[in-house]
Amino acid sequence: MSQVQVQKLTKIVVCPAIGYMGEDAVKVVEALRQLSTPPDKVKCPKCGQEVEARKFALHLSKHCRVGGKNIVCDICNEKFKDMGKFLRHVREHLVIGVLRNGMWVWYCTVCGREFTCKRSALVHVLKSHEVEE
Ligand SMILES: [Zn+2]
Ligand SMILES: [Zn+2]
Ligand SMILES: [Zn+2]
């Protein structure tokens, strides 16, 4: 079997659709391809809480701590100077790319939707999984 080429935007991939959090993006891509229907509810792999899929990115953004002037991501321990940068970073935990027939395909790890460009996948995470009421 040929090697699957994947691209992560952060070291740790968070995939609530399969309840996984870790460095193995290949495993995530393969599991997402098996996903038949996007889940309404997902389980946060960080804290085990059940969260509505449309609010998952919002939920994940709560996994941070403020230390001095920095915001520290609880998932990967990266530090950020402001909330805006941190929020952008959180979305990057939820997008991975896979090389297929010479083209990069981008996945949302919350619902498994595919995108032809990274930007669209990140916008999707913002609009579809960061819904505030
Ligand atoms: Zn959580
Ligand atoms: Zn992080
Ligand atoms: Zn999605």
Write out pLDDT tens, residues 44-79. 999 999 999 999 999 999 999 998 889 999 999 999
pLDDT of residue 52: 97
Q: How many domains does the chain have?
A: 1
Predicted model pTM: 0.94
Angle between helices 118-129 and 83-92 (to 10 degrees): 110
Question: Is residue 81 in some structural domain?
Answer: no
Distance (Å) from CA 66 to ligand 3 centroid: 27
Question: Is residue 44 in some structural domain?
Answer: yes
Q: Give the residue-averaged pLDDT of 97-110.
A: 96
Q: Give the residue-averaged pLDDT of 72-100.
A: 96
The span from the CA of 39 to the CA of 110, in Å, is: 8
Q: Is residue 1 over pLDDT 80?
A: no
Number of the ligand closest to the Cα of 74: 2
Number of the ligand closest to the Cα of 110: 3
Number of the ligand closest to the Cα of 122: 3
pLDDT of residue 2: 60
φ/ψ region of 79 (left if φ > 0, alpha if ψ in -120 to 50, else beta) reads beta
Distance (Å) from CA 50 to ligand 3 centroid: 16
Tokens, residue 26: 């290949």
**What percent of the chain has pLDDT above 90?**
88
Output the DSSP codes for 30-49.
HHHHH--S--SEEE-TTT--
Q: Give the residue-averaged pLDDT of 5-32.
A: 96
Question: Is residue 73 in some structural domain?
Answer: no
Tokens, residue 48: 């085990």
Helices (H), the chain: 25-34, 56-60, 83-92, 118-129
Going by pLDDT thresholds of 50, 70 and 90, the confidence category of residue 36 is: confident
pLDDT of residue 103: 95
Question: Is residue 76 in some structural domain?
Answer: no
Residue range(s) defining the domain that contains residue 121: 6-57+93-129
Distance (Å) from CA 60 to ligand 1 centroid: 6
Q: Is residue 16 over pLDDT 80?
A: yes
Q: Give the residue-averaged pLDDT of 77-91.
A: 96
Question: Is residue 111 in some structural domain?
Answer: yes
Distance (Å) from CA 77 to ligand 1 centroid: 15
Distance (Å) from CA 95 to ligand 3 centroid: 9
Neighbours of ion ligand 3 (CB under 5 A): 108, 110-111, 113
pLDDT of residue 3: 80
Distance (Å) from CA 100 to ligand 1 centroid: 31
